[in-house]
Amino acid sequence: MAQPGQTVPDFEAQATPDQTVRLSDLKGKNIVIYFYPKDHTPGCTTEGQDFRDNYAEFEKLNTLVFGVSKDSLKTHQNFKAKHSFPFELITDPDEVVCRVFDVIKLKKLYGKEYVGIERSTFLIDAEGVLRKEWRKVKVKGHVAEVLEATKAL
């Protein structure tokens, strides 16, 4: 499991458009990985749009952005196209990446308990070290906070 101040364990996952993302292949770039519950839902759409609208700033900081949920690659491709996301979305149906970052949590909705992704974001430096984590993220103002932390690297 990834811990702040430590190197993030390598992982491999499928991402849009139809590629394999391997963390070890991304050395030399900062990485923002944000986990969200579901494509095409209001909070997840707003969060993705905020990352989209600030993407040029992340690029200037040598930073890649990836969104991660358990949705299928096809659903991700539709979500990405509909909102013109300039970054890739990782599909994690088997929770491999989710487990690296410990984002699968017991949640409650309308009195029912279920297991799902806790909205979380992680900032990894160019050497592969986890520098900052945000858990139980509230969407409003979150991307600005991530951008400020990225500038501080």
Residue 7 located in a structural domain: no
pLDDT 10s digits, 29-46: 999 999 999 999 999 999
Residue 6 located in a structural domain: no
Residue 4 located in a structural domain: no
Residue 45 located in a structural domain: yes
Q: Please say if the pLDDT value at position 121 is more than 90.
A: yes
Domain of residue 103, CATH code: 3.40.30.10
Residue 1 located in a structural domain: no
- State how many domains the chain has: 1
User: What residues make up the domain containing 46?
Assistant: 12-151
- Phi, then psi, of 42 in degrees rounded to 5: -55, -55
Mean pLDDT of the chain: 96
Q: Please say if the pLDDT value at position 101 is more than 90.
A: yes
In DSSP terms, 91 is beta-bridged to 14, 69
pLDDT computed for residue 37 by the predictor: 96
CA angle 74, 48, 146 (to 5 degrees): 135
Q: Is 98 one of the annotated active-site residues of the chain? A: no
Q: Which of 31, 44, 89, 124 is catalytic?
A: 44
pTM, 2 dp: 0.95
* Predicted confidence band of residue 114 (pLDDT cuts 50, 70, 90): confident
- The helix-helix angle for 73-83 and 42-53 (nearest 10°) equals 60
**CA of residue 68 relative to chain centroid, distance:** 5
Residue 2 located in a structural domain: no
Q: Please say if the pLDDT value at position 122 is more than 90.
A: yes
CB contact at 8 A, 5 and 130: yes
pLDDT computed for residue 107 by the predictor: 84
pLDDT computed for residue 106 by the predictor: 87
What integer is the mean pLDDT of 136-142? 96
Residue 28 located in a structural domain: yes
Residue 95 located in a structural domain: yes
